[in-house]
Structure formats: structure tokens, C-alpha cells
Amino acid sequence: MISRRTYLSTTMALALFAGGFVMTAAYEAAVAGELSPQQIINGLKPRTRSLSVAPRPALSEADAAFIHRVRTQSRALSRADRDQMAEIAAKRPKIDVEINFDLNSADLAPGAEPQLNSLGKALTSPELQGTVVMLGGHTDAKGTDDYNQKLSERRAETVKRFLVENYKVAPDLLVTSGYGKDGLKNTADPFAAENRRVEIVNMAEKEQSAK
């Protein structure tokens, strides 16, 4: 027979194990929306040829010339520039990074920094260093078109400033564009939090950006 002391010890051990499992599961659930630097790298790297995934079309000379122009200009993108950028971005490797902002503000929320650090590490990694990246700001559907457009632009600029100041990413490798409430990620719920995001797009690899 199992002694009472052995029974109690076993019961306590199982309870501690179960408690630890619950805490671990809760922690993983809390950070499930955060992407690691490697996940960001994998999302932005060009796809190689495979039997299951078709490779993305190569960047055309015209697209490369356009990207070179907008990354070296000091003024904000025009509506025509934003539309052309979005057209090119649709064919390029991209990933959504959930970066939280204070309500109706371009100021970063307190919990936003860990995800920004992951982004900074990814963009300065050997795999992505020198890549031209678009930071596309998006909002949810609340508010007017004009308000959301300006807010999305300011949020994209906030992310750019963080990357330049904290990770020394060259400013001309980061092209900011605001899309307001166009391109909702969750069209079923236009006011959902996941619509308030910054889309990261690999616009041109290092060898293409040098052209």
C-alpha cells in the first residue's frame, strides 16, 4: 500500500506541475500575438522555389526605379505614390506587426516596445540588413478618412523614428506610408484592434536597393 506521506508528496508534486503548466499556458497565450525576430525574418525573406509555393515575381526595373525615388525624397508620399507603393507591396514579402498605440495618438503604448525590439533585431540581422522596407500604417474604421489618414502616417513615422534611433537603421531604408482605414485586416469587424497595425513589407533586397 502507498503510505500517507508518499500519497501527499505525490499529490503536491502533481499539483505544482499542473499549476506550472497553467501558468506557462497563460503566459504563452498572453504573448501569442507577439512575433519573434526570427518569425519576422521568415515573413520578410523572399520565398524560394518549391513544389508547394510559387516564387514571387522579380522586382521590375520600373518598380525598382520608383522605390529608389521615394526612398530618397524628403516629402511625404502623394496619393498616387501611396497607391503605387501598395500595388508593388501586394507582390512582395510582408508581415503584420501588432504595435500598440495610445488611443487616438501616435505615441507608443507602454507594451509596444518589446515588439519593436523584435522588429529592430530582424531588420538588422544578416538576412535582412540593407533591405528597403515599407512601414505601412493602418487604423480601424473609427473616425473620418482625413483623420485616420494623418494618424496612420504619424504612427508609421513613430515606428521609423524608433528603428533609426534605437537600431541605427538607415533612414533611407525605411519608407513610411499611411493607409488610414483602407485595407482593413478584419473586414468582418471594422473596429477590431487587429486593424490598428503597421504592415512591414520587403520592398527591395539589398542588391536591388543599390540600383
179 touches 201 (CB < 8 A): no
Angle at 139 between CA 135 and CA 140, to 5 degrees: 150
**Structural domain boundaries enclosing 144:** 35-209
Which pLDDT does position 49 carry in this prediction? 47
Which pLDDT does position 98 carry in this prediction? 81
87 burial type by CB count under 10 A (0-12 exposed, 13-18 middle, 19+ buried) = exposed
Whether residue 17 is found in the same domain as residue 51: no
What is the three-class DSSP state of 49?
A: coil
Whether residue 26 is found in the same domain as residue 97: no
Q: In 3D, which of 189, 91, 77 has the Cα closest to residue 136?
A: 77
pLDDT at 12 over 80: no
Whether residue 2 is found in the same domain as residue 71: no
Residues contacting 154, CB < 8 A, separation 6+ = 106, 137, 178
Whether residue 11 is found in the same domain as residue 91: no
Q: Give the residue-averaged pLDDT of 184-200.
A: 88
Most confident of 61-65, 109-113, 165-169: 165-169
Q: Give the residue-averaged pLDDT of 34-52.
A: 78
pTM: 0.76
Whether residue 116 is found in the same domain as residue 172: yes
Which pLDDT does position 159 carry in this prediction? 95
pLDDT, the chain, mean = 80
The residues with which 94 forms a beta bridge, in sequence order, are 201
Residues contacting 33, CB < 8 A, separation 6+ = 98
- Write the CA distances from 151 to 81, 134, 155, integer angstroms: 18, 17, 6
| Confidence at 167, pLDDT banded by 50, 70, 90 | very high
What is the three-class DSSP state of 114?
A: helix
Whether residue 165 is found in the same domain as residue 186: yes
Q: Tell me the per-residue pLDDT of 126-159, one tens digit each, with 9 for 90 and over.
A: 999 999 999 999 988 999 999 999 999 999 999 9
> How many domains does one find in the chain?
2
